[in-house]
Each structure stands twice: as structure tokens, then as C-alpha cells.
């Protein structure tokens, strides 16, 4: 008998079915987040921030107080909330453009200051909502609307390794990991550990999730998973980079 | 590498964003710096595909702050650099524009207006007039061309480069999301085929010769120590702006003499204004219309002259009074019989609604 | 003379392609033509709407309040386009009984042709339609149901469904010729047709069928189906 999977209790039923494209990785990440919220029972204390881009479609996703901000500014808004009321749990949800381009200064500074918030970043290697432009994590050779002939290392360097960068500057008590929607159990474990890290008041928590975007990758189902599991996984190493006990390595 | 993008004259049927990419090529722009934001993204999409064929360059920056400042850098290095943005991006551009105002850098930026404030809609508005004319912490030393057709997007993009490089004030092509996304026909041409001479760029930083030995070093700053220094820098610039205004200001008006009502509109809404005017005139109502083409410098004298013929105005804009503010300032001390407005922030305006509104007002009067 | 046409359907049905090609045909006939898509923030989902105007004089504004022709390709599209209907409007909808229209972005050339950045779809109509009969507008000049999807599936090929709609729009509007539409089609899909001439034939047949379906319906004096 097939097991019927239910929606996480923390999901807001009225906003379902959601507005993400078929095959999008966002709802998978948000499902793992929803289960973590349920398991840790943090619906009341949690503030969910989302950015500009496809992440903004999650503005009414959860039965959690939420705010959609400006491009790249979700991290500082969450930091502002947390500093004013440390009782609250703050999670900033954003994409690779928001986190590593326009929001990178906020990410870097929040990491250095060891802000006790969580950043959950969905990496699908492009600016999806605006039509598929190149982003900091676009792979070499990958064709996008603003790299129509393929991203060139000579022109624009290598794709951004976000968790690695945060790991290099993170303070004591930080948690930094990269997961993938190709391994949901592991991704959920990372999200849960990041959230527990904030609950314990340790330091900055950061999880990047490798996600899919068949709409802008212009791939069918097989190609989509191929790109995620082969090409993206080869460059973006999955694992924990910094754990709260101070261990630093990519497993 | 293909030499010239445009044949002498060529009728085409394309979207507004595509027009701008071709016009920038025709104007011999060298490099575009940009950042994704709807509804101007396709300018980058076309430019990145055309660029390698014509030896042009492109950089997508990390955000609009950077896009603005990299554009300034490119210009100081003696290249025709430009950028494009919209909405929240236009806000971020104000910092670099202010630097361009103070340092007289020939910045060229296309703004495709979308709803506001904040993220609002990605679609359309005329709500960036405040920002593009007077945003930033300066005095609005800007030239702003508000276009209404694809032909104008083409003509004024070419003109913007010339205006910027001749007078050295940041210059804008103010379009909107409708113009950006719609398709209509226009004639693309090689500027020289129409007797338009392109102003050549000049290098400010990094010219030939060893600074301090072969030539003076170029030392640029935008900071002053005391109030008097600032005053002595600002006042002459204002004077230059006013002198430039006389040569650069543009407007369009029809049937203002003998009019019983004048519709005031700018940008794409002026098309509806003209269509409404024609329909009303066919019904025997003496409607006229006035359209500022440059919002900065504003055609103040021309508007005051029109008000002398008829000062019963209906001002229409897809914003809450941003054009009206400029108009009221221009009409200061001029007796105005009546000033009605139709404000539809972020919403398109059709000729039908203008005709209906004017006919209704007349019934009320009579 | 100004003709205002609205085409609406689900994302992936090729609505924008139809609008774009109609406008291009108008432009090719030396008329003033203007086409603009409706778009919101979502990449996919919601009703896709195309606004087309063809005129002898310069066109006043890109959008309009009332249409001369409305083509509604899905239940949600019927809801979405009611606001454009007046006593002068010819309202054409797909009344296929067999199956809902096929949605496929990889369909025969036409549906891969996305004219604008993919955020092309209105966010205004994301509520689910009520199941049951479609409520058609009552105030139109005439309401014409054509079994475009059924015809495509039974007689031609499911993926030329929107070519049937295109033919229907040409016949209903009467403002561009089928020949110029074929030319516009050729300029977009010429390469695909060169590789597979049967595609061209099928698209042309679909166009023809569309004009016939509307012609027949109009002859019945716009009977409500």
C-alpha cells in the first residue's frame, strides 16, 4: 500500500497548490523546512523572511509570520528582528542571486558578526524569476540569458562557493552546510541542525540547498536531475563545513 | 566581426527592449553594465548576443549600485558606457547618478518604469518620474527624455548619448514596462545616413602620457572642505545646466491655440491623449494637447505659452501626481482656470476613458 | 479602423505566439500593429493573455478596456476575459468535450516560441474554477464555441491546436489575410519546416480548419453552444 504523505502542519493550506513551476526545487526545500518546523515545534516563535525572485512566492507558504523584503535585504531584516527580540527565531530564505550577488555584503557581514540567524539559500544557478540570467553560481559553460554563449572563466571567474566562503569567515558556534534536493533526508538533517543551532543561541547558521529549475534550464525531467546530480554535485560539494562544535571539514 | 549593425534604413517590428539594444549599437556604445530586473532584462539579453558580433562588451554586476558605478568607470576610461534599470533598481542607481551630477560624467541610463513604491508590480507605471528627475541628494542636473513610441526609443537613445557626451549631465531614456514589452514597428537607421553626427567619447582617466611628467595628472574628487567651496562649484554648474536647457528642451503640442481644454500627458500616455484629442475634435469639442518630451529640463516656457491660449487643463498620468508636480512648478504664478487630473498609479490609460471624462465634465458644466 | 483582439489561455497553450504572429501579419500588411503580453511575477501558472491591435492609424495605448474579438482557450481564460466583452464583441471559445487542451512547451515549433521573458502570466486568476459548466458571457455580440482541441486531436495532431485558434481568430477578426499569417509563420518556423515539410502542411491545414470552424459557426448566426 502506498504511503500518503501529508503536508507539514506548519504549511498554510489556503496557499496551496503553490505557485512554483512544475519540477522546481523550492517546494522540496520548503517541505523539509516545514517538517523541521513541525518536529521542533517552533511555529509560534519563527519569523520567515523571503527575498525577491522565486523565493518571494513563499511569502504566504507557512502558518508562520512572514515578510517578503527587497532583493538581497532579507538577511539584514532578519538580523534586525533578532537583535530587537532575541526570543524570536529568524530564517532568511533566498536564492543564489539574492545571497551571493546583491546580498553578499549582508551575508559576509552577518557571518563575521556571527549573527544568530539562519540563512537558507536555494541555489539553482540562475536568476530564475527574471527569466534565467547568469548568477554567481552559474557553472562554467552553462548558457543563460546573459551568458548566451556559455559562462567563461576568463570573463567572469569561477562560480561562487558560498558555504565554503562563509565557512572561512564564520565565528565560533556557526553552522555551515550544503545539501541537495537529490538527498532529501540529508537536506532535512542539515536544516534541522541549523535551526537547532539558532535555538541553542550558538552563532550564524547557513545552509545552501542545490535545487532544480527546469523552466530556465530548459531541461526535461531526466536532464534536470542529470544536471543536479552530476554537474552541479561535481562542483558544489555536499556536506557539513562547520559544525557548532568547531569541526571544520566538508564530509 | 560585422562592421555596422544597421543598414542605412530598415523597417522592423520588434519589442521596445530590443529597440534599445540596437539603438545603443547605432550610437556606437562600447559597453553595457547591467543587473537583472524586470521589465528591462531583455536589453541585456539582446546586447549579450549582439556584443561579440560587433566587438562590444558587457558585464552583469552584483547589483545596481555596482552597475551604476561601473558605468561611471567605463565612461571615465573614455568609452561610451550605459546601463538600464527599473523600480527598486532605479533607487539604487541614485547614488551613482548623484556622483555623475556632481562630477559631470556623461552617464546614459534607460529606465523602464514599473509599479511602485517598493517591489509593487513588474509591469508598468509612470511612477519613477520623481526619482529620475530629482532623485539623489542633488539639484536634478539631469536630462530626461520621456518616450512614447518605439521610434522615439530608437531616436532618443541615440540622442541621449550625444546629449550626455556634449553637455556632461547624466541623461535618461524614460520608458516603461509597456514600451519595453510591446511590439510595434519603427524604422531603424544609421545615424550618419540621416545627418546625425555622433559625439565622440573622450578619456578622462588613463589618457596617454605619464602624469606629472608628460602631462598634468588628473585628480578628481567630489568632496569639499567648506561651504564656500561647494557653493563655488555648484553655482556655475547650475548656470551651465540652464544654458544647456535652452538647447535641449523638447515638447510636443497640438491645437492649443483656440482650445477649450488641453490634455497634459507624457510618455506612452501621450498617445492616448492624442487619440482622445482627435476623437473629441471630430465631435466638435476643441481639445488640444501638451506633452513635455524632456521632463528635465522641463519645457516651462512652452507650457506657460500654451496656458496663455487656454488654461483649462486635464492632466493624466499613471502615477499620483508626479508629472503634476513638475507642471505646477512650471505654471507658477500663471493664472489657471481649471486643473483636473486623472491619476492611475501603475495602471494604463486609454483614449476612451479620457474622452469619457472630458465629455462628462462638460455636461456637468453646461 | 481599429481592431482589438484579446487571446487568453493557460500558460503553454501558445497564447503569446498567436498574438505575436497575428500582430506580425498585420505589420506585414503595412498596417499599424501593436502586441503586448500580460505578465506578472510567476514564471508559470495563471492565465496568459495577449493583447493585439491592428489599425490604419497610430495606436493610442498598448492595452484596452473592451475587445472586438476575444479568443478564450480554457475555462479560466473565459473567466479572465469577460471584462473585455461588450455588445460589439465576438467571443470565441474552445468547447471541446473530449479533453482539456494539451499543454506542452515543446510542441510543434509554435509553442516553444516564447516571445517574452518567461514571467508572462497574469497572477490575477489563480483561484481554481468551479467544476461544471463554463459560464459564458451573455452580453457579447455573438458567442462562438469551436471544438479546437477535439478537432486537433481527432483530425490533425494535438499540437496544432493553437494553429486552429489562429485560423479562427483570422476569420473572426477579418483584418489580416491567411496568406500573411502563413508568411509570418514561415519567418518564425521556416527552419523547422525545412527539416520537416509535413509540419508546414499540418500547420496550414490547422489554420484552414480554424477559419472553417468559425465560418460555419458565424453562418449559424452566432449560436450559443
pLDDT score recorded for residue B57: 95
Q: Which residue of A has its CA nearest to B67?
A: A102
Selected residues 290-349 of chain B with any CB under 8 Å from a CB in chain C: 348-349
Q: Is B49 on the interface with A (CB under 8 A)?
A: yes
Q: Is C20 on the interface with B (CB under 8 A)?
A: yes
Interface test with C, best of A13, A14, A18, A19 (most C CBs within 10 A): A19
Beta-carbon separation of A102 and B62 below 8 A:
yes
Q: Is C37 on the interface with B (CB under 8 A)?
A: yes
Q: Which of A52, A71, A133 sits opposite B41 (nearest CB)?
A: A133
As a 3-state breakdown, chain C gives helix, strand, coil percent values, each rounded to 5, of: 40, 15, 40
CA distance A102 to chain B (A): 5
Identify which has the larger pLDDT, C152 or B3.
Answer: C152
Q: What's the domain range around C207?
A: 2-123+136-219
Beta-carbon separation of C61 and B13 below 8 A:
no
Q: Which of B300, B75, B284, B321 is nearest to B200 (CA)?
A: B75
Mean pLDDT (chain C) is 80
Per-residue pLDDT tens over the stretch C102-126: 444 434 333 333 333 333 332 222 3
Work out the average pLDDT over A9-38: 94
Beta-carbon separation of B62 and A101 below 8 A:
yes
pLDDT score recorded for residue C159: 79
Beta-carbon separation of C44 and A215 below 8 A:
yes
List the chains bordering chain C where 3 or more Cβ pairs fall under 8 Å: A, B
CA distance A97 to chain B (A): 8
Does the pLDDT at position A245 exceed 50?
A: yes
CA distance C79 to chain B (A): 21
Burial class (CB in 10 A: 0-12, 13-18, 19+), A176: buried
Beta-carbon separation of A136 and B44 below 8 A:
no
Which ranges of chain B have pLDDT less than 70? Answer: 1-3, 365-366
Walk me through the domains of chain B, giving residue ranges and CATH numbers. 9-194 (3.40.50.970), 253-365 (3.40.50.920)
Residue C138 pLDDT grade (very low, low, confident, very high; cuts 50, 70, 90) = confident
Q: Which residue of A has its CA nearest to C114?
A: A131
The CB density around residue B352, as the number of other CB atoms within 10 Å, is 17
Beta-carbon separation of A19 and C42 below 8 A:
yes
CATH number (domain holding residue C94): 3.40.920.10
Chain B and chain C share a number of CB contacts under 8 A equal to 82
In a domain, residue C43? The reply is: yes
Q: Which residues contact C132 (CB under 8 A, 6 or more apart)?
A: none
Work out the average pLDDT over A211-216: 95
Residue C47 pLDDT grade (very low, low, confident, very high; cuts 50, 70, 90) = confident
C24 CB neighbours in chain B (<8 A) are 13, 183
Beta-carbon separation of C41 and A131 below 8 A:
no
Q: Where are the beta strands (DSSP E) in chain A?
A: 46-50, 65-68, 89-95, 118-123, 175-180, 205-210, 239-242
- Domains in chain C: how many in total? 1
Beta-carbon separation of C33 and B185 below 8 A:
yes
Q: What number of CA atoms fall less than 13 Å from residue A70's CA on the CB side?
A: 15
Question: What pTM, to 2 d.p., does this model score?
Answer: 0.88
CA torsion sign for A95, A96, A101, A104 is: positive
pLDDT score recorded for residue A92: 98
What HEC string does chain B produce?
CCCCCCCCEEEEEEEHHHHHHHHHHHCCCCEEEECCCCCCHHHHHHHHHHHHHHCCEEEECCCHHHHHHHHHHHHHCCCCEEEEECHHHHHHHHHHHHHHHHHCCCCEEEEEECCCCCCCCCCCCCCCHHHHHHCCCCCCCCEEEECCCHHHHHHHHHHHHHHHHHHCCCEEEEEEHHHHHCEEEEEEECHHHHCCCCCCCCCCCCCCCCECCCECCCCCCCCCCCHHHHHHHHHHHHHHHHHHHHHHCCEEEECCCCCCEEEECCCCHHHHHHHHHHHHHHCCCCEEEEEECEEECCCHHHHHHHHHHCCEEEEEECCCCHHHHHHHHHCCCCCCCEEEEEECCCCCCCHHHHHHHHHHHHHHHC
Alpha-carbon span C24 to B12, nearest angstrom = 10
Q: What percent of chain A has pLDDT over 90?
A: 92
Beta-carbon separation of C42 and A215 below 8 A:
no
In a domain, residue C131? The reply is: no
Q: Which of A4-18, A128-142, B219-233 has the lowest mean pLDDT?
A: A4-18
Cβ distance B26 to B191 under 8 Å? yes
Interface test with A, best of C16, C39, C43 (most A CBs within 10 A): C43
Q: Is C41 on the interface with B (CB under 8 A)?
A: yes
Residues pairing with B302 in the sheet: none
Q: What percent of chain C has pLDDT over 90?
A: 46
Q: Is A157 on the interface with B (CB under 8 A)?
A: no
Q: Which of A31-40, B48-57, C193-202 has the lowest mean pLDDT?
A: C193-202
Q: Is B58 on the interface with A (CB under 8 A)?
A: yes
Does the pLDDT at position A177 exceed 90?
A: yes
B91 CB neighbours in chain A (<8 A) are none
Does the pLDDT at position C128 exceed 50?
A: no
Q: Which residue of B has its CA nearest to C51?
A: B182
Q: Is C118 on the interface with B (CB under 8 A)?
A: no
Cβ distance B172 to B142 under 8 Å? yes
pLDDT score recorded for residue C158: 79
Q: How far is CA C208 from CA A166, B129, C76, C101, in A?
A: 62, 49, 26, 19
In a domain, residue C29? The reply is: yes
Q: Which of C27, C41, C61 sits opposite B351 (nearest CB)?
A: C61
Q: Which residue of A has its CA nearest to B64?
A: A102
Q: Which of C45, C117, C118 sits opposite A19 (nearest CB)?
A: C45
CATH superfamily ID and name for A18-242: Thiamin diphosphate (ThDP)-binding fold, Pyr/PP domains (3.40.50.970)
Q: Which of B181, B269, B353 sits opposite C37 (nearest CB)?
A: B181
Does the pLDDT at position A58 exceed 70?
A: yes
ipTM: 0.87
Beta-carbon separation of A72 and B44 below 8 A:
no
Alpha-carbon span A67 to A60, nearest angstrom = 9
Cβ distance B290 to B258 under 8 Å? no
Beta-carbon separation of B63 and A102 below 8 A:
yes
Q: Is A67 on the interface with B (CB under 8 A)?
A: no
Beta-carbon separation of B182 and C58 below 8 A:
no
| DSSP letter (8 states) at residue A189 | H
Determine the 3-state secondary structure of C14 from DSSP.
coil
Amino acid at each position: 500500500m502506498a504511503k500518503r504523505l501529508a503536508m507539514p502542519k506548519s504549511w498554510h493550506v489556503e496557499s496551496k497548490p503553490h505557485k512554483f513551476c512544475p519540477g522546481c526545487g523550492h517546494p522540496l526545500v520548503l517541505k523539509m523546512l516545514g517538517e523541521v518546523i513541525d518536529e521542533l515545534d517552533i511555529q509560534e516563535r519563527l519569523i520567515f523572511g523571503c527575498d525577491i525572485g522565486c523565493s518571494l512566492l513563499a511569502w504566504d507558504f507557512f502558518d508562520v509570520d512572514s515578510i517578503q523584503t527587497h532583493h538581497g535585504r532579507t538577511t539584514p531584516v532578519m538580523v534586525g528582528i533578532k537583535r530587537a527580540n532575541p526570543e524570536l527565531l529568524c530564517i532568511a530564505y533566498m536564492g543564489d542571486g539574492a545571497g551571493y550577488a546583491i546580498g553578499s555584503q549582508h551575508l559576509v557581514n552577518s557571518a563575521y558578526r556571527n549573527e544568530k540567524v539562519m540563512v537558507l539559500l536555494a541555489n539553482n544557478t540562475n536568476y530564475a524569476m527574471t527569466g534565467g540570467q547568469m548568477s554567481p553560481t552559474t557553472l562554467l559553460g552553462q548558457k543563460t540569458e546573459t551568458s548566451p554563449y556559455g559562462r567563461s572563466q576568463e570573463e567572469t571567474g569561477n562560480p561562487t562557493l558560498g558555504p565554503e566562503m562563509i565557512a572561512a569567515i564564520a565565528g565560533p558556534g556557526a553552522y555551515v552546510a550544503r545539501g541537495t534536493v537529490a538527498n532529501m533526508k540529508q537536506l532535512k538533517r542539515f536544516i534541522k541542525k541549523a535551526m537547532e543551532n539558532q535555538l541553542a543561541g550558538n552563532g550564524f547558521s547557513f545552509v545552501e540547498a542545490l535545487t532544480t529549475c527546469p523552466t530556465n534550464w530548459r531541461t526535461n525531467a531526466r536532464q534536470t536531475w542529470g544536471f543536479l546530480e552530476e554537474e552541479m554535485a561535481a562542483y558544489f560539494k555536499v556536506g557539513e563545513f562547520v559544525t557548532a562544535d568547531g569541526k571544520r571539514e566538508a564530509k | 566581426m560585422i562592421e555596422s549593425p544597421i543598414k542605412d534604413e530598415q523597417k522592423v517590428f520588434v519589442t521596445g527592449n530590443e529597440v534599445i539594444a540596437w539603438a545603443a549599437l547605432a550610437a556606437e556604445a562600447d559597453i553595457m553594465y547591467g543587473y537583472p530586473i524586470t521589465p528591462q532584462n531583455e536589453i541585456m539579453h539582446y546586447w549579450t548576443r549582439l556584443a561579440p558580433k560587433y566587438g562590444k562588451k558587457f558585464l552583469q554586476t552584483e547589483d545596481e549600485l555596482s552597475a551604476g558605478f561601473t558605468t561611471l568607470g567605463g565612461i571615465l576610461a573614455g568609452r561610451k558606457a550605459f546601463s538600464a534599470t527599473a523600480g527598486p533598481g532605479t533607487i539604487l542607481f541614485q547614488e551613482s547618478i548623484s556622483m555623475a551630477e556632481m562630477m559631470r560624467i556623461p552617464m546614459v541610463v534607460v529606465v523602464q518604469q514599473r509599479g511602485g513604491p517598493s517591489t509593487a508590480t513588474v509591469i508598468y507605471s509612470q511612477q519613477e518620474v520623481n526619482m529620475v528627475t530629482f532623485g539623489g541628494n542633488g539639484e536634478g542636473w539631469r536630462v530626461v527624455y520621456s518616450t512614447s513610441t518605439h521610434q522615439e526609443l530608437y531616436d532618443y537613445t541615440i540622442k541621449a548619448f550625444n546629449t550626455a557626451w556634449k553637455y556632461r549631465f547624466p541623461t535618461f531614456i524614460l520608458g516603461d514596462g509597456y514600451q519595453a514589452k510591446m511590439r510595434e514597428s519603427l524604422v531603424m537607421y544609421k545615424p550618419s545616413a540621416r545627418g546625425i553626427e555622433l559625439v565622440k567619447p573622450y578619456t578622462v582617466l588613463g589618457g596617454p602620457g605619464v602624469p606629472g611628467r608628460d602631462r598634468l595628472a588628473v585628480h578628481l574628487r567630489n568632496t569639499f572642505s567648506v561651504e564656500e567651496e561647494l557653493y563655488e562649484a555648484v553655482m556655475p554648474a547650475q548656470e551651465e545646466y540652464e544654458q544647456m536647457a535652452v538647447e535641449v528642451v523638447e515638447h510636443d503640442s497640438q491645437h492649443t491655440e483656440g482650445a477649450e481644454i488641453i490634455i497634459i500627458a507624457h510618455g506612452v500616455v501621450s498617445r492616448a491623449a492624442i487619440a482622445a484629442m482627435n476623437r473629441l475634435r471630430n465631435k466638435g469639442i476643441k481639445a488640444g494637447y501638451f506633452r513635455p518630451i524632456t521632463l528635465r529640463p522641463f519645457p516651462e516656457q512652452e507650457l506657460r505659452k500654451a496656458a496663455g491660449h487656454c488654461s483649462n487643463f486635464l492632466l493624466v498620468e499613471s502615477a499620483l501626481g508626479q508629472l503634476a508636480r513638475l507642471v505646477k512648478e512650471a505654471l507658477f504664478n500663471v493664472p489657471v482656470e481649471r486643473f483636473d487630473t486623472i491619476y492611475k498609479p501603475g495602471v494604463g490609460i486609454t483614449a476612451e476613458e479620457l474622452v469619457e471624462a472630458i465629455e462628462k465634465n462638460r455636461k456637468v458644466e453646461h | 479602423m481599429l481592431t482589438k483582439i484579446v487571446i487568453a489561455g493557460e500558460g503553454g497553450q501558445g497564447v503569446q505566439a498567436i498574438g505575436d504572429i497575428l500582430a506580425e501579419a498585420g505589420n506585414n500588411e503595412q498596417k499599424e500593429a501593436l502586441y503586448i503580453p500580460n505578465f506578472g511575477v510567476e514564471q508559470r501558472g495563471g492565465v496568459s493573455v495577449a493583447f493585439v491591435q491592428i489599425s490604419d492609424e497610430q495606436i493610442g495605448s498598448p492595452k484596452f478596456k473592451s475587445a472586438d474579438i476575444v479568443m478564450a482557450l480554457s475555462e479560466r481564460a473565459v473567466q479572465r476575459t469577460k471584462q473585455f466583452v461588450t455588445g460589439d464583441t465576438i467571443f470565441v471559445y474552445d468547447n471541446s468535450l473530449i479533453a482539456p487542451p494539451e499543454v506542452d512547451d515543446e510542441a510543434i515549433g509554435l509553442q516553444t516560441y516564447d516571445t517574452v521573458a518567461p514571467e508572462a502570466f497574469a497572477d490575477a486568476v489563480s483561484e481554481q474554477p468551479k467544476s461544471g459548466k463554463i459560464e459564458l458571457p451573455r452580453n457579447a455580440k455573438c458567442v462562438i464555441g469551436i471544438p479546437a482541441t477535439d478537432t486537433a486531436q481527432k483530425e490533425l495532431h494535438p499540437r496544432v491546436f493553437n494553429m486552429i485558434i489562429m485560423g479562427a481568430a483570422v476569420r473572426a477578426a477579418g483584418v489580416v489575410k491567411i496568406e500573411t499569417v502563413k508568411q509570418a509563420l514561415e519567418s518564425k518556423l521556416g527552419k523547422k519546416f525545412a527539416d520537416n515539410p509535413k509540419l508546414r502542411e499540418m500547420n496550414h491545414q490547422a489554420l484552414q480548419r480554424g477559419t472553417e470552424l468559425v465560418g460555419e459557426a458565424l453562418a449559424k448566426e452566432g449560436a450559443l453552444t
